[in-house]
Amino acid sequence: MTTDAPLSLHVPEPAVRPGGAPDFSNVKIPKAGAVPRPNIDVEPESIRDLAFSIIRVLNRSGEAVGPWAGLLSDEELIEGMRHMMTLRTFDARMLIAQRQGKTSFYMQHLGEEAISCAFRRALSPGDMNFPTYRQAGLLIADGYPMVDMMCQVYSNSRDPLKGRQLPVMYSSKEHGFFTISGNLATQYIQAVGWAMASAIRNDTRIAAAWIGDGSTAESDFHAALVFASTYKAPVVLNIVNNQWAISTFQGIARGGSGTFAARGLGFGIPSLRVDGNDYLAVYAVAKWAVERARRNLGPTLVEYVTYRAGAHSTSDDPSAYRPKTESDAWPLGDPIIRLKNHLIMRGVWSEERHKQAEAEILDTVIAAQKEAESYGTLHAGGKPSARDMFDGVYAEMPPHLRRQRQQAGV
């Protein structure tokens, strides 16, 4: 006979489900400018609170305030906004193209554009990102040709990856963009290994690892933190917390940990949280973390607090698992609108110029799309040859594959 009360299992639930009123009262948002900016050689122990706060630069009236402000010129900010607008327009066009049957699948960045676009600016040539499928801003902001991206999405005759990969799983060594796996979290530890290699060779290049909130639950995430911490690898460990892993809210991966950034504390890794919808804050924190890595001070964990305003991919409908109006209620706003308001306040931008820029960008994207489509789309026009399927499995084709290629008659 036991006198113990029966146990019960705790299964976390999001604050609201479809039909309810959006509620982000659990997202504690400090004032812009409130979080201090430590020296890059700070003792991780002394900045533990940065893993529970949110570094913000742009305040509600559009001013850049506090110790993380003032790093970018007007020209750089305008360029940054163009990158974000380009990415958003690119996404919109590719989403429509997917709906039109021109490709099988697409994943957009809506609401998360600031993170990859601003982060790219903090890196140097030769550095390497190990991205997920929602960091195409790293390519856009580095000037990778949009036509090539579209050819990849269409798996057409000019697809740089010869039709071997799902849409949006880009690869560009030249632009510091590691081939995207599509399996989750596997690349987090690879980024750490790549950074270790740079240190082993006494080079100066650093790596950036990328993961989403949901995938931090994967064992490979923890492997990466162990290795990064043990060998003080020159790597920036990025977590994009966009609140949703397909239909699963972030609480299922986060569990009892207060924040995702707090995961780094037990590893002795400086861990920061930043407003992911604030281009200036993302850049400032990225630069801080990149400098730490570059100066051989080791890894930094950065959690970008943001919101996935769109669906996970073209294969899900968010209204089935969260309130339809939730994205409007997101308290950190929209990254493009916030940067636009800041630039207008600085007197270097206006609503007219913004509209004009939108129109120009749309023209550019449409022109790129026309060109890409002239090389084919998934089911029409030019496409990679069946022969391409057999190439590149090994550096040199082994006899059994040669036989199979002959059997296939290609």
Partner 1 sequence: MARMTMIEAIRDAMDVMMARDERVVVFGEDVGYFGGVFRCTAGLQQKYGKTRCFDAPINEAGIVGAAIGMASYGLHPCIEIQFADYMYPAYDQIVSEAARLRYRSNGEFTCPLVVRMPTGGGIFGGQTHSQSPEALFTHVSGLKTVVPSNPHDAKGLLIAAIEDPDPVIFLEPKRLYNGPFDGHHDRPITPWSKHDLGEVPSGYFTLPLGKASIVREGKAVTVLAYGTMVYVAQAAATETGIDAEIIDLRTLLPLDMETIVASVRKTGRCVIVHEATLTSGFGAELAALVQEACFFQLEAPIVRVTGWDTPYPHAQEWDYFPGPARVGRALVDTVEA
Q: Whose CA is closest to 13, among 242, 244, 249, 260?
A: 249
Instruction: Tell me whether residue 199 or residue 378 sits nearer to partner 1 (CB atom).
Output: 199
Phi, psi of 105 (to 5 degrees): -165, 145
Report the DSSP pairing between strands 235-241 and 244-245: unpaired
Residue 379 Cβ vs partner 1, minimum distance, rounded to whole Å: 21
Burial of residue 374 (number of CB atoms within 10 Å: 0-12, 13-18, 19+): middle
Phi, psi of 318 (to 5 degrees): -60, -25
DSSP 8-state assignment for residue 172 = B
Say which amino acid occupies 256.
G
Contact call for residue 67 and partner 1 (CB under 8 A): no
Contact 237, 300 (CB under 8 A): yes
- Interacting residue with partner 1 among 1, 395, 407, 409 (CB under 8 A): 395
Instruction: Tell me whether residue 134 or residue 162 sits nearer to partner 1 (CB atom).
Output: 162
- Interacting residue with partner 1 among 162, 263, 273, 342 (CB under 8 A): 162
Instruction: Tell me whether residue 152 or residue 327 sits nearer to partner 1 (CB atom).
Output: 152
- Interacting residue with partner 1 among 72, 199, 269, 361 (CB under 8 A): 199
- Interacting residue with partner 1 among 230, 247, 325, 350 (CB under 8 A): 230
Q: Which helix (H) or strand (E) holds 335?
A: helix 335-345
Q: Which two tokens stand for residue 239?
A: 């977590």
Q: Which of residues 120-159 bind partner 1 (CB under 8 A)?
A: 128, 130
Q: Tokens 């996404």 appear where?
A: 91
Instruction: Tell me whether residue 46 or residue 385 sits nearer to partner 1 (CB atom).
Output: 385
Contact 284, 32 (CB under 8 A): no
Instruction: Tell me whether residue 191 or residue 332 sits nearer to partner 1 (CB atom).
Output: 191
Phi, psi of 119 (to 5 degrees): -65, -40
* # binding residues, partner 1 (CB under 8 A): 47
Contact call for residue 179 and partner 1 (CB under 8 A): yes
DSSP collapsed to 3 states, 47-94: HHHHHCCCECCECCCCCECCCCCCCCCHHHHHHHHHHHHHHHHHHHHH
d(CA 219, CA 272): 21
Q: Which stretch binds partner 1 (CB under 8 A): 170-178, 296-304, 318-326, 362-370?
A: 170-178
Contact call for residue 226 and partner 1 (CB under 8 A): yes
Task: Assign residue 18 a region (left: φ > 0; alpha: ψ between -120 and 50; beta: otherwise).
Answer: beta
Q: Whose CA is closest to 250, among 217, 287, 297, 274?
A: 217
Contact 179, 404 (CB under 8 A): no
With a CB cutoff of 8 Å and minimum separation 6, the contacts of 23 are 15, 16, 329
Q: Which stretch binds partner 1 (CB under 8 A): 190-198, 240-248, 285-293, 332-340?
A: 190-198
- Interacting residue with partner 1 among 317, 400, 407, 409 (CB under 8 A): 400
Instruction: Tell me whether residue 79 or residue 391 sits nearer to partner 1 (CB atom).
Output: 391
Q: Which stretch binds partner 1 (CB under 8 A): 195-203, 242-250, 254-262, 332-340?
A: 195-203
Q: Whose CA is closest to 102, among 363, 365, 362, 372?
A: 372
Residue 217 Cβ vs partner 1, minimum distance, rounded to whole Å: 14
* Number of residues that make up the chain: 410
- Interacting residue with partner 1 among 68, 144, 227, 244 (CB under 8 A): 227
- Interacting residue with partner 1 among 133, 144, 194, 210 (CB under 8 A): 194
Contact call for residue 189 and partner 1 (CB under 8 A): yes
- Interacting residue with partner 1 among 50, 140, 224, 302 (CB under 8 A): 224
With a CB cutoff of 8 Å and minimum separation 6, the contacts of 316 are 246, 247
Q: Which stretch binds partner 1 (CB under 8 A): 5-13, 51-59, 85-93, 187-195?
A: 187-195
With a CB cutoff of 8 Å and minimum separation 6, the contacts of 402 are none
Residue 181 Cβ vs partner 1, minimum distance, rounded to whole Å: 6
- Interacting residue with partner 1 among 49, 398, 407, 409 (CB under 8 A): 398
Residue 131 Cβ vs partner 1, minimum distance, rounded to whole Å: 13
Instruction: Tell me whether residue 85 or residue 228 sits nearer to partner 1 (CB atom).
Output: 228
Contact call for residue 223 and partner 1 (CB under 8 A): yes
Q: Which of residues 315-334 bind partner 1 (CB under 8 A)?
A: none
Contact call for residue 190 and partner 1 (CB under 8 A): yes
Residues in the site for partner 1, rule: CB under 8 A? 128, 130, 160-162, 164-165, 169, 171-173, 178-179, 181, 183, 186-201, 207, 219-220, 222-224, 226-227, 230, 392-395, 398-400
